[in-house]
Structure 1
Amino acid sequence: MILTDTWWSSDQFLPDRTLLQTGGDLDGFKKIRKFEPSEPGGNCDWVELKDVELANGRWYATKQILPDGTIVIVGGRGTNTAEYYPPRMNKNGAVELKFLADVEDNQMYNLYPYVHLLPTATFSSSPTTKQSLMLALEGDFSTTVVVVCGGAQYGAFIERSTDTPAHGSCGRIVATDPKPGWEMEDMPYGRIMGDTLMLPTGDTLIINGAQAGTQGFEMASNPMYHSTANLLPDGRVLVAGSNPHYFYKFAAEFPTELRLEAFSPEYLSPDRANIRPVIEEIPETVRFGEAFAVLVSVPLSIVGIIEVWERTIFDTFIFTGSNISETCRYAVSPRRWSIPD
């Protein structure tokens, strides 16, 4: 069972489906916890590791799974370092990240930093209650585009303003470009603390969040704040929760929301059933680095298909706010297409 404080901790699923949770507040600052799934009717419970702990205590940190299955744990309030799980043997178990130190100020810019795994490196950006997403990889997967949208106005957190309009801008950057630059556009309206999802069509969905204010209890208005969203296997989007308050408040202007809602994007409409692919054959087991084939059928002739998979993380604030995942776009042949090596 969990015996220490998990407030503002963060989580990541491991390759074996184990959920890894680290950090928190007070006595949970350096703790590492695991939850291993069991068969139906089994005895599942959290386990706090006793023989290992974080090199640096972490409150508001971010996790990213790496190609070898290890986890990099980045940042945290007042912790401008990164470390790994399982721990790697170096000087003190953590390495300094100058970028996080450079953006640390009383605006809390470096809490839950966004981290995207690139083909050759990692990309990190400072959140300020923005939403961030890495777009689908195409071709030889060497070009990576990252989008960062919305966020709080500078000063809103310091002034504890609940009515300062959120930013409505979206910046797009080719993170793998030797000389990257931002390409800007605008959302229909501003948004903070939202969720971003890559849909099976390759489109990006930005959902939830507040239209004014900033992060923190009692500091956002017009919100679906501290809400979550996740793409379900059937293509629907599960939306849950909202609470901008210290405690549950059901009679407030923006009440605590405990309900779940399933949103069906337009690609699930009945008039599009004849262009939705149906998986006919898929291997039961796929090994790492192994090519495999998936057979799909579509009533109408098609010239391409997008396959999307997500590796989701969550933290205290939101489940998919930074949507730290990898998505890929593949071509399809008239009869069969394969995941390349």
Structure 2
Amino acid sequence: MAFPSPVFHLVLLLLLLHSPPCPATSGGSWSLLLPTIGISAMHMQLLPTDRVVIYDRTDFGTSNISLRDGKCRPKSTDCSAHSVEYDVLHNSVRPLMVLTDVWCSSGTLMPDGTLVQTGGTYEGDRVVRVYKSCDDCDWQEIQSGLSQSRWYATNHILPDGRQIIIGGRQAFNYEFYPKISSTENAPSLPFLVQTNEPNIENNLYPFVFLNTDGHFFIYANDRAILFDYVRNQVVKTYPTIPGGDPRNYPSTGSAVLLPLRVVQGKTSDVEVLICGGAPKEAFVNANNGKFDGALDTCGRIKISDPNPQWVMETMPLARVMGDMLLLPNGNVLIINGGSAGVAGWELGRDPVLCPVIYQPNNRIGSRFELQKRTTIPRMYHSTAILLRDGRVLVGGSNPHDKYEFANVLYPTELSLEAFSPAYLDPSSSKLRPSIISPRTVIHHGERMFIRFNVLCPVDPNLVSVTMVAPPFNTHSFSMSQRLLILDTGNTTVAVGESHYEVSVITPGSVNVAPPGNYILFVVYQGIPSEGIWVCIQ
């Protein structure tokens, strides 16, 4: 392994000093978990075992972690791993064997807790890979599991527990996995043709969210539709986002479905937030050595409205290749990325080291709050996911077509960090709930009782319960990400010293909460408990 020279360290320090500033009073804190996991974390998925599947690509050359038991990849002299499983509780990794190329692929956690990952490139573009976590488990690969090549596609869990796979490079269609029959095909989706720009595309890794009516909100380039995948029909066409700048790969912004408030098992308003990206001309300019400033705007739209319109907001920092994550208290974390250029090999500049918290319930103009900066640039091929304890796991960054550790602007990054939002500050420990009556299996539309303790007297009006679906994260988008705020109805009562009980009605529809694993949190005054795993059936 090569290491940077002292001159290079000086150059990197100067670059970091010129990155966008963070105020000294910023919230949150950072910790380095592991200086290296052996691979660069291009894709990440949290599993219900509190382990994280992480993988890179198989054609970078050798990684910095060997396969177990002296194994090598078939028909290859490469005996290094390109996937690992990170054990959150023990802060350790073990190597996994992935056979075909998973570069820029996609995936979704299935209802039984299995990760089903699809596509990639070269010999892996139609492969389906399955990972079920256990001490000795490894990837299982299904050749020709897809009917179309899927590279830069987006997956989402379906209300029936299957997953839909939408788009990909030169794949203007969608398909399902698992398939109901061997004759199930890949219906065309003309919207992906309409949003495709020659030689740029700008519609890869489309932003896809399941609406509460069972249709999918699909955003690509600078526009969106509401899509009935059962009938293969566009139900609604949304206005073009103001400014008309692209938000999808390679002009990579990010997006979230804002928290869904569930009252008596039902929801009303459904909103999507899209932030960052790059100007129309940025991809062409970056390939010619000119790095345009990233977008500093967010668009918010109520997709459930009869006449939905975009409301634009301005972030405190422009950002391209940033990740957007739903936090247990209903806020949105914007993290990673750069402030100039686009996604792609060597095409991003000026890392944004400061995360931002977006508070969706505040009034416009007071929703953004800058957070404490990291010292590690997380540029192209970075990842971030929420952990059950409320921290955010951050890894990756490799804007090169191989591992590069010296004499480059942004070296390949093999480390894992954790960002701890301000709600984990020790000063809030007396307000932090602790769940003491976990339930592992719940059902739609039932009343659920949750016991918890808090060290200070509790105001019932300030207690909430949230459920977060753990997403698959890659290329600045978290697939199947979803947060539900359950109605507590002022039901919190004391049941002993520092002990309380709250009751909620679980989501009443698979369109609101698709079947599968969620992390349930009790939140008091914006401070979440450590979450517990629940499976809704």
Q: Which residue of 1 aligns with 2:505?
A: 339
Per-residue CA distance 1:290-338 (angstroms, 9 max, x = gap) = 54322223323231324131231134x35xx245312111233222222
> Per the alignment, in what secondary structure is the counterpart of residue 274 of structure 1?
helix
Within the candidate set 204, 211, 229, 1:118 is matched to 211
Q: Residues 295 and 75 of structure 1: is their aligned pair in 2 closer, same or farther, counting only changes over 3 Å? A: same
**Structure 2 Cα separation of the partners of residues 178 and 206 of structure 1:** 29
Sequence identity percentage: 40
Within the candidate set 17, 24, 37, 2:113 is matched to 17
Within the candidate set 123, 133, 141, 2:256 is matched to 133
Within the candidate set 467, 480, 503, 1:308 is matched to 467
Q: CA deviation at 1:165?
A: 0.5
Matches within 5 A, 1:139-288: 139=263, 140-159=266-285, 160=287, 161=289, 163-223=291-351, 224-225=378-379, 226-251=381-406, 252-287=408-443
Quick check: 1:295 aligned with 2:418? Answer: no
> Per the alignment, in what secondary structure is the counterpart of residue 99 of structure 1?
helix
Q: Residues 60 and 326 of structure 1: is their aligned pair in 2 closer, same or farther, counting only changes over 3 Å? A: same
Q: CA deviation at 1:53?
A: 2.3
Query: Which shifted more, 294-303 or 10-19?
Result: 294-303
Q: CA deviation at 1:70?
A: 0.5
Backbone CA RMSD of aligned residues: 2.0
The answer on whether the counterparts of 1:202 and 1:306 sit within 8 Å (CA) in structure 2 is no
Q: Residues 323 and 47 of structure 1: is their aligned pair in 2 closer, same or farther, counting only changes over 3 Å? A: closer
Query: Which shifted more, 77-86 or 293-302?
Result: 293-302
Amino acid at match of 1:328: L
The answer on whether the counterparts of 1:195 and 1:323 sit within 8 Å (CA) in structure 2 is no
**Structure 2 Cα separation of the partners of residues 254 and 123 of structure 1:** 35
**Structure 1 Cα separation of the partners of residues 191 and 447 of structure 2:** 38
Q: CA deviation at 1:107?
A: 2.3
Amino acid at match of 2:296: G
Q: CA deviation at 1:283?
A: 1.8
Amino acid at match of 2:503: W
Q: CA deviation at 1:241?
A: 2.1
Matches within 5 A, 1:34-53: 34-38=130-134, 40=135, 42=136, 44-50=137-143, 53=145
Amino acid at match of 2:169: R
TM-score relative to the length of structure 2: 0.59
The answer on whether the counterparts of 1:167 and 1:190 sit within 8 Å (CA) in structure 2 is yes
Structure 1 unaligned segments of length 5 or more: list them. none
**Structure 2 Cα separation of the partners of residues 287 and 169 of structure 1:** 39
**Structure 2 Cα separation of the partners of residues 203 and 323 of structure 1:** 18
Structure 2 unaligned segments of length 5 or more: list them. 1-96, 221-247, 352-377, 494-501, 509-537
TM-score relative to the length of structure 1: 0.91
> Per the alignment, in what secondary structure is the counterpart of residue 158 of structure 1?
helix
> Per the alignment, in what secondary structure is the counterpart of residue 279 of structure 2?
coil
**Structure 2 Cα separation of the partners of residues 254 and 49 of structure 1:** 36
**Structure 1 Cα separation of the partners of residues 444 and 132 of structure 2:** 21
The answer on whether the counterparts of 1:130 and 1:152 sit within 8 Å (CA) in structure 2 is yes
Q: CA deviation at 1:281?
A: 0.9
Q: Residues 338 and 250 of structure 1: is their aligned pair in 2 closer, same or farther, counting only changes over 3 Å? A: same
**Which entry has the higher C-alpha Rg, 1 or 2?**
2
Per-residue CA distance 1:26-50 (angstroms, 9 max, x = gap) = 2222121212222x3x3x2222224
The answer on whether the counterparts of 2:208 and 2:479 sit within 8 Å (CA) in structure 1 is no
The answer on whether the counterparts of 1:9 and 1:61 sit within 8 Å (CA) in structure 2 is yes
**Structure 1 Cα separation of the partners of residues 336 and 505 of structure 2:** 33
The answer on whether the counterparts of 1:218 and 1:245 sit within 8 Å (CA) in structure 2 is yes
Q: CA deviation at 1:25?
A: 1.4
Q: Which residue of 2 aligns with 1:8?
A: 104
Amino acid at match of 1:309: V
The answer on whether the counterparts of 1:274 and 1:300 sit within 8 Å (CA) in structure 2 is no
Q: CA deviation at 1:214?
A: 0.4
4+ runs of 1 displaced by more than 6 Å?
A: none
Per-residue CA distance 1:116-171 (angstroms, 9 max, x = gap) = 11101110112230110011101431321000000011111123255210001000
Query: Which shifted more, 151-160 or 305-314?
Result: 305-314
Q: CA deviation at 1:248?
A: 2.4
The answer on whether the counterparts of 2:165 and 2:174 sit within 8 Å (CA) in structure 1 is yes
Q: Residues 300 and 197 of structure 1: is their aligned pair in 2 closer, same or farther, counting only changes over 3 Å? A: farther
Within the candidate set 116, 123, 144, 1:27 is matched to 123
The answer on whether the counterparts of 2:386 and 2:470 sit within 8 Å (CA) in structure 1 is no
**Structure 2 Cα separation of the partners of residues 101 and 231 of structure 1:** 34
Amino acid at match of 2:422: E
> Per the alignment, in what secondary structure is the counterpart of residue 27 of structure 1?
helix
Query: Which shifted more, 201-210 or 138-147?
Result: 138-147
The answer on whether the counterparts of 1:9 and 1:59 sit within 8 Å (CA) in structure 2 is yes
Q: Residues 260 and 162 of structure 1: is their aligned pair in 2 closer, same or farther, counting only changes over 3 Å? A: farther
Q: Which has the higher contact order (CA 8 A, sep 6+)?
A: 2
